[in-house]
Amino acid sequence: MFQNFPLWPISASTMSGRVDALFIFLLVVCGFMTIAIFVLILFFAARYRRRPGFEAEQIEGSNALELTWSIVPLAIFMVIFTWGAVIYFQGRTPPQGADEIYVVAKQWMWKLQHEGGQREINELHVPVGRDIKMIMTSQDVIHSFYVPAFRIKQDVLPGRYTTAWFHATRAGTYHLFCAEYCGTQHSGMIGQVVVMEPAQYEAWLAGGTSGAPLAVTGQKLFAELGCSTCHRSDAQGRGPDLDGVFGKPVLLEDGRTVTVDEDYVRESILSPAAKVVKGFKPIMPTFQGIVSEEQVNALVAYVKSLAQPPPGQATRSANLAAPQTHTEQVH
């Protein structure tokens, strides 16, 4: 309906329709309240303008009215709040099985890497009709990943991961903006999201000069950096076995429990002593300054690949090292 209306942004994701619907609801409700107030004021101004022979009539107030115009707006506000909260919740909860894109922001560019290893700068190619989850971090200051056509925005922070997801519904090329001020070329830190029909996307994937899949790169690094000498699966290791741990809760030395997610793996690489798994000593050296953000991403992708695959897909596919039994299957 609004696609050809030049004062309205393009709508190209499952989220954009929902946000627009709520926005229109707000326009109608707030527009109505605003006009009601303006009409009343203008009416009073005209009706009770100062004229000779007419005196103002003093009125103390009215508790009933005060209550009414406190409670009625509050009730309307709660409807808006609830609706907005539902949409926010959907936006913050990436669906299971989404394709993952690793995003590294830096002054002043976007570096994006697909699970298959394809790298892009300031451009993101994605297929229409699939859930895409972005796992994002920054190499320097805070940035913000903003695609107006998808109605999504998420700040990208140094030192941790934030995530965002979308499900594109229309092929096309859309703006990718940095929405958090990040220095001189903030307004130059823009790129585009190219949404393609699945067949074209497959062609694009195949045609790219891609390196190895991210998890494979991670696996190589895992060996090169010597991680595998301690993180072994034979219970002899000085570090916890990483097979199958991703997505599971683990008990820590201090009695807390954390779920192994991207952020925990990342933190364990860069600040290993922060959350030590029960039964192990804080002997792991930090890799802060040794591995780049991209390498951390590859390691995270590798640890993730050690966990269970979505059913029907071989994880540790032939590309990956010698097949092993999945912890998941042991249980």
Partner 1 sequence: MATAAFPASEREHYLNKDYGIRSWLLTTDHKRIALLYLLSITFFFFIGGFFALLIRLELLTPAGDLVQADTYNKLFTMHGQVMIFFFLIPSIPAVLGNFLVPLMIGAKDLAFPRINLLSWYLYIIAGVMMLHAMLTGGVDTGWTFYTPFSTAFSNTRVIEAGLSIFVAGFSSILTGLNFVVTIHRMRAPGMTWSRLPLFIWALYATSIIQLLGTPVLAITLVLVVLERAFHFGIFDPTQGGDPLLFQHLFWFYSHPAVYIMILPSMGVVTEIIACFSRKRIFGYKFVALASIGIAVLGFLVWAHHMFVAGISLYSALIFSILSYLVAVPSAIKVFNWTATMYKGSISFSTPMLYAFGFIGLFTMGGMTGLFLACLGVDVHVTDTYFVVAHFHYIMVGSAVMGYLGGMHFWWPKISGRMYPEGWGRLAALTVFIGFNLTFFPQFILGYMGMPRRYWQYPPEFQILNVLSTAGSTILAVGYVLPMVYFLWSMRYGKHATDNPWGAAGLEWKTASPPPTFNFDEPPQVSWEAYDYEHIPAPEEVPVAR
Residues 268-307 contacting partner 1, CB under 8 A? 271, 274, 288-289
Residues of this chain, 49-78, that bind partner 1 according to CB under 8 A: 49-51, 54-62, 65-66, 69-70, 73-74, 77-78
Residue 208 contacts partner 1 per CB under 8 A: no
Q: Which is nearer to partner 1, 84 or 198 (CB)?
A: 84
Q: Is 5 in the site for partner 1 (CB under 8 A)?
A: no
The one among 104, 112, 178, 303 contacting partner 1 by CB under 8 A? 178
Interacting positions 15-54 with partner 1 (CB under 8 A)? 18-19, 22-23, 26, 30, 33-34, 37-38, 40-41, 44-45, 48-51, 54
Query: Which residue's CB is nearer to partner 1, number 81 or number 223?
Result: 81
Residue by residue, DSSP assigns 130-179 as: SEEEEEEEESSS-EEEEEGGGTEEEEE-BTS-EEEEEEB-S-EEEEEEE-
Binding-site size for partner 1 (CB under 8 A) equals 86
Interface with partner 1 includes 179 (CB under 8 A)? yes
Closest contact distance (angstroms) between CB of 30 and partner 1 is 4
Do you know the residue count of the chain? 331
Smallest gap from Cβ 310 to partner 1, in A, equals 24
Among 129, 158, 208, 211, binds partner 1 (CB under 8 A): 158
Closest distance of CB 141 from partner 1, Å: 4
Which of 168, 152, 20, 22 is CA-nearest to residue 82?
22
Q: Structure tokens of 170?
A: 């229309």
331 binds partner 1 (CB under 8 A): no
Q: Is residue 173 near partner 1 by the rule CB under 8 A?
A: no
Site string for partner 1, 94-133 (x = CB under 8 A): -------------x--------------------------
Q: Evaluate the omega torsion of the peptide bond into residue 110 and state whether it is cis, within 30 degrees of 0.
A: no
Per rule CB under 8 A, is residue 165 in the interface with partner 1? no
- Given candidates 3, 17, 140, 282, which one binds partner 1 under the rule CB under 8 A? 140
Dihedral angle over CA of 287, 292, 296, 299, nearest 10: -90
C-beta of 187 vs 319, nearer to partner 1? 187
Q: Which of 173, 185, 317, 325 binds partner 1 (CB under 8 A)?
A: 185
Compute CA distances 95 → 130, 165, 167, whole Å. 10, 8, 10
> Using the 8-state DSSP alphabet, how is residue 272 labeled?
T
- Output the furthest CA–CA distance in the chain (Å, rounded): 100
β-strands 123-127, 191-196 pairing: parallel
- Residue 116 CA to residue 205 CA, distance in Å, equals 8
Return the closest-CA partner of residue 121 out of 132, 106, 110: 110
At 195, the amino acid letter reads V
Which of 187, 152, 139, 128 has the alpha carbon at shortest distance from 9?
A: 152
Shortest reach from residue 285's CB to partner 1, in Å: 15
Query: Which of 304, 230, 308 is closest to 266 using CA atoms?
Result: 304
